[in-house]
Structure 1
Amino acid sequence: MKLEIGIIGGSGIYKLLENMVPRRVETPYGTVKVFTGSIGGRNIVFLPRHGEEHTVPPSKINYRGNIFALAKLGVKRIIATNAVGSLNPNIPPGCLALPHDFIDFTKNRVYSFFDGKSNYKVGNVEIWGVAHVSMTPHPYCPELRDVLSQAMSNVGVKCFTDQAVYVCTEGNRFETAAEIKAFRILGGDLVGMTGVPEVVLARELALCYATICLVTNFAAGMISGARLTHEEVKEIFDKNIETVRKVIKAAVGLMPEKRGCACGRALEGAYSTLKKPQG
């Protein structure tokens, strides 16, 4: 079975897959549970980012294990989904956004497969020594973003943007009003807790990665005196998750068989270690 498309998300995405089968994938970072199935006749791997029962908080997600597992199964393209807060009055709750760039404010996560000690191969990527992948000019795969943007138009999404800077925080708490003010000054449009280091790790394994952000709330301080609760976030998310499912289904149908982007060449010129270890 050819498994070239991966989807990372929560339980609301499960319903998309037909003939869903659970699988366990062994990685150097632990065992990762995924589900294989199909959408519109194309084979898909679905990975529940927070676990099947949403028991893994953002700061404890096995990001390296998750991305490695998808690559090991043959995935070349990843569509992720994220619930986010908005820092931009022009991107209100209920809107969808495709980030074109990100700012990283996480603190305690592991951001790289290239730790100077590892020596193994996954897909066509050899992981050894130290490597510095470039995140410019496109941190997110431009081809995949174009497909998702077209899918949003095709299914009639009324409110979406493909120009937004995503700010990732450590979590698990929501941000303070002062933090949001600072993020806005820096150019942030959206804020979430899970998009980094996913996007970086995908680039290190030469995978295409783009994310659909569902805006569930205005961030702290955007509305005077408003107190944010998880229940409010979940309410908006549940109201709009069907739209996200429609976009993903349409995008899978629009996706070309072969990649036409540069993501597959991400490791060219990236290795800084001069000599590959033997064995």
Structure 2
Amino acid sequence: MSSNEIPKTPYAIIGGSSTFSIRFPEDLELDDCEVLADNLEFETPYGTSPVFKLFRLGGKQVLTVKMHGWRPNVVTRGVASQQLFWVFQQAGVKKIYAEGGVGAINHLLRPRDIVVPTDYIDRSMRVDVGLGGPYLLIMRQPTCPHGRRRLVAAAEKGAVGRVFDRAIYANTDGRHFESVAEVQALKIAGADVVGQSMCPEVYLAREIGACYARLDLVVNYAEGIVKDWEHEELKDIFYNEPKTIGRMLIDAMRETPVHEDCGCADLRKDTLLKEQ
């Protein structure tokens, strides 16, 4: 269903591979959670948006989307991100939680551990993915400290594995997994995990003036780390952990106010590159 009316809400959840196999949030069967609208598509300057869903969570209304907006008929993942965040911008979104599945580069991590990234290394090839805003984006605090704290607290209540409250996320393009040599290069650079979605989302969130935080489920060892990963274990995690991750996101969102002193909004400045 295509619609021109973007619902107004300050809250959004970006679904990734860790909740892809369920109907989020319906399959969580929560008493305070109700879907208000489904199959919402919007025309954006970057093409037709991915399908959104609007749900009620207590007194909040929350926009959500599957797989970071990636889908077969979109030109690039960067374009999918532009469509997604343009809609968030029009909706007035100020608080964003995201999730994904990552490979462990740090050899101390294990499958089913949860990491809440504090920083990133961008090795993607998505150049200058933005919305054209006249801003200087400061990335010294890429993820919201209060959002991270809430995600860690939610994860510690329900995690199957261990929970780590900091990690450096290496972003690559995929859709293939990385080579052994690439993983070793990322390890030398200081990365703990590798995935394909934190960038450009973290930049676009900053551009629209929104707080961004995410949690990631370790689904395999990256190539050359500890041991070769097995497809059956990856499949088992993919189908058996989504409700756990979904509940973490919901628990964190319940506790999230619109306004708080996190400092994220101060890291978007007016550009100095202006015609005189």
Q: So what's the TM-score if we normalise by structure 1? A: 0.83
Indicate if the aligned counterparts of 2:68 and 2:197 stay in contact, CA closer than 8 A. no
Cα distance in 2 between the residues matched to 1:13 and 1:141: 27
Partner of 2:43: 26
1:3 aligns with 2:12: no
Amino acid at match of 1:252: M
* Secondary structure in structure 2 of the residue aligned to 1:172: coil
Partner of 2:154: 151
Cα distance in 1 between the residues matched to 2:214 and 2:73: 20
1:66 to partner: Cα distance:
0.7
Partner of 2:234: 233
Indicate if the aligned counterparts of 1:3 and 1:73 stay in contact, CA closer than 8 A. yes
Partner of 2:193: 190
Q: Deviations over 1:114-136 (max 9, x none)?
A: 3xxxxxxxxxxxx24xx331101
Q: Which aligned pairs between 1:90-129 and structure 2 lie closer than 5 A?
A: 90-114=108-132, 127-128=133-134
Taking only the aligned residue pairs, the percentage that are identical comes to 30
What is the alpha-carbon root mean square deviation over aligned residues? 2.5
1:232 to partner: Cα distance:
4.5
1:78 aligns with 2:96: yes
1:161 aligns with 2:164: yes
Partner of 1:250: 251
1:42 aligns with 2:60: yes
1:36 to partner: Cα distance:
0.7
Q: Which aligned pairs between 1:51-70 and structure 2 lie closer than 5 A?
A: 55=72, 60-61=77-78, 62-70=80-88
Gaps of 5+ in 2: 1-6, 27-33
Equivalent of 2:138 in 130, 134, 158 = 134
Amino acid at match of 2:177: F
1:238 to partner: Cα distance:
2.1
CA 227–89 in structure 1, closer or farther in 2 if over 3 Å, else same: closer
1:68 to partner: Cα distance:
1.4
Amino acid at match of 2:131: F
Gaps of 5+ in 1: 115-126
Partner of 2:263: 262
Indicate if the aligned counterparts of 1:13 and 1:245 stay in contact, CA closer than 8 A. no
Amino acid at match of 1:31: T
Q: Deviations over 1:206-251 (max 9, x none)?
A: 1111111111000001134x2664x643431222212111211211
1:257 to partner: Cα distance:
4.0
Cα distance in 2 between the residues matched to 1:251 and 1:15: 15
Cα distance in 1 between the residues matched to 2:98 and 2:59: 20
Cα distance in 1 between the residues matched to 2:146 and 2:153: 11
Equivalent of 1:199 in 194, 202, 211 = 202
